[in-house]
Amino acid sequence: MIAHNRPFISPEDRAAVDAVLASGWIAQGPAVKGLEECFIRQHGGGAACAVASGTAALFLALQALGAASGQAKVAVPSYACSALLNAVFMAGAQPRVVDVLPDTFCLDPDALQRQAPDAGFAIAVHTYGAVADCTAMKRTGRVVIEDCCHAPAGSVPVLGEVGEAAVYSFYATKVVTGGQGGLVWSRDPAVVDKVLDYRQFDCREHYVPRFNFQMTDIQAALAHSQMQRIDAIRERRAFIASEYLSAIPSGLSAQAGLAETGRMVYRFVVLAPNREIRNALQTYLKANGIECAVPVEKFELLHRYLKLDPEQYPHSERLTDITLSLPMHLGLSSADVSSICGVLSRFQI
Ligand SMILES: *Cc1c(COP(=O)(O)O)cnc(C)c1O
């Protein structure tokens, strides 16, 4: 069976982790600092704070930007992971769920105006590496947090610089992993200072509630080592995506916005005409030794978790019926890719 997703750990990654283990300093320390500096370099400036997870990064960015007042409304795309809702609730803010665009799967700026006129904040996910239109969201006066968990500072041009803050995840299934971990980057050092203050919970003269959201040097060394080859990772993923794109049989299509040069392809998602054909495609690929995944199931849609009317979210609803994610990771050999392309191209609708 060809796996849908698998972390890729190189000998250099192992050596970097070994060096931390041998150093005697395994908690947050110089390797975390090194990872932060790497993201500052990628963005050509600003400030960064590495934290325990992408969810923690979202929560801390909301808090640092003033969304934890109790009254703040935060727009989130419906077609996204529940981490967004968790961060909003943990910050004590109120979510406003907005439908996504049917082609890029990213938050729809027009729906934002319609469904969340009162939201002062918006979390824009660059879904699977496609670019969310943060400029349009800013134009209507929103404070934007760019969720770059699918595109870890390896896109060209780099994502995350339109909004007030960018957040990253280094969870095991992401493009760059530390096992777990996250990071907040902002052009504005004052925003990151607030995140740093919250993370640095001990040895403080002035007490306010803070929390241990630290990342270990073990995790940071792994993620930083992977970041060293981010350009090669992006190119390999783009190559796999272009192979898949040319193998897609007529009747199926792919998510828009990932074929352009410079995009970081986190997932390669195929769209079928309807749920029956999508399910048939998944069964067919599985029978041919290819593991695929429905990237977001209907019950996971954020409006469904909040028991909101599904009819207000037609694009998100439909995406859960017709999408299937193909294997996309660095462990795929060229033989795997050709074999997947061959099988895919022979699918009869
Ligand atoms: C993974 C992910 C998160 C949460 O990150 P964790 O590190 O798992 O907490 C948030 N947003 C998006 C888009 C993600 O893919």
Please give the chain's pLDDT, 349 residues, in tens: 999 999 999 999 999 999 999 999 999 999 999 999 999 999 999 999 999 999 999 999 999 999 998 899 999 999 999 999 999 999 999 999 999 999 999 999 999 999 999 999 999 999 999 999 999 999 999 999 999 999 988 888 899 999 999 999 999 999 999 999 999 999 999 999 999 999 988 888 899 889 999 999 999 999 999 999 999 999 999 999 999 999 999 999 999 999 888 999 999 999 999 999 999 999 999 999 999 999 999 999 999 999 999 999 999 999 999 999 999 999 999 999 999 999 999 999 8
Pocket lining: 182 vs ligand 1, CB cutoff 6 Å: yes
pLDDT at site 201 = 85
What the block records as the tokens of 231 is: 């350009």
Ligand 1 atom with the shortest distance to the CA of 53: 7
C-alpha distances out from residue 206 to 61, 147, 202, 210, Å: 22, 32, 10, 11
What the block records as the tokens of 76 is: 């989130």
How far apart are the C-alpha atoms of 302 and 94, rounded to whole Å?
13
Residue 123 Cα, ligand 1 centroid: separation in angstroms?
Answer: 12
Helix (H, G, I), strand (E, B) or coil at 231: helix
What the block records as the tokens of 286 is: 């599985």
Phi/psi for 86 (5° steps) reads: -60, -45
How far apart are the C-alpha atoms of 231 and 1, rounded to whole Å?
28
pLDDT at site 70 = 85
Closest by Cα among 139, 130, 143, 345 to 251: 345
Residue 169 Cα, ligand 1 centroid: separation in angstroms?
Answer: 6
Pocket lining: 150 vs ligand 1, CB cutoff 6 Å: yes
Residue 266 Cα, ligand 1 centroid: separation in angstroms?
Answer: 12
**Substitution candidate for ligand 1 out of 5, 169, 215 with most atoms within 8 A of CB:** 169
* Torsion 171-175-176-179 (CA) sign: positive
Residue 349 Cα, ligand 1 centroid: separation in angstroms?
Answer: 34
* Torsion 132-134-137-139 (CA) sign: negative
For 105, left (φ over 0), alpha (ψ -120 to 50), or beta?
Answer: left
Pocket lining: 147 vs ligand 1, CB cutoff 6 Å: yes
**Substitution candidate for ligand 1 out of 171, 266, 301 with most atoms within 8 A of CB:** 171
Q: Where are the beta strands (DSSP E) in the chain?
A: 47-51, 73-77, 94-98, 121-125, 143-147, 165-169, 182-186, 253-254, 268-271, 323-326
Strand order of the sheet with strand 253-254? 253-254, 268-271, 323-326
pTM over 0.95: yes
Name the closest-CA residue to atom 13, ligand 1.
149
Residue 7 Cα, ligand 1 centroid: separation in angstroms?
Answer: 15
pLDDT at site 157 = 87
Ligand 1 atom with the shortest distance to the CA of 127: 13
**Substitution candidate for ligand 1 out of 5, 74, 76, 81 with most atoms within 8 A of CB:** 81
Pocket lining: 125 vs ligand 1, CB cutoff 6 Å: yes
CB proximity list for 14: less than 8 A, separation 6 or greater: none
What the block records as the tokens of 40 is: 């500052």
pLDDT at site 107 = 98
Name the closest-CA residue to atom 5, ligand 1.
54
Expressed in percent and rounded to 5, the helix, strand and coil fractions of the chain are 40, 15, 45
Pocket lining: 169 vs ligand 1, CB cutoff 6 Å: yes
How far apart are the C-alpha atoms of 112 and 121, rounded to whole Å?
11
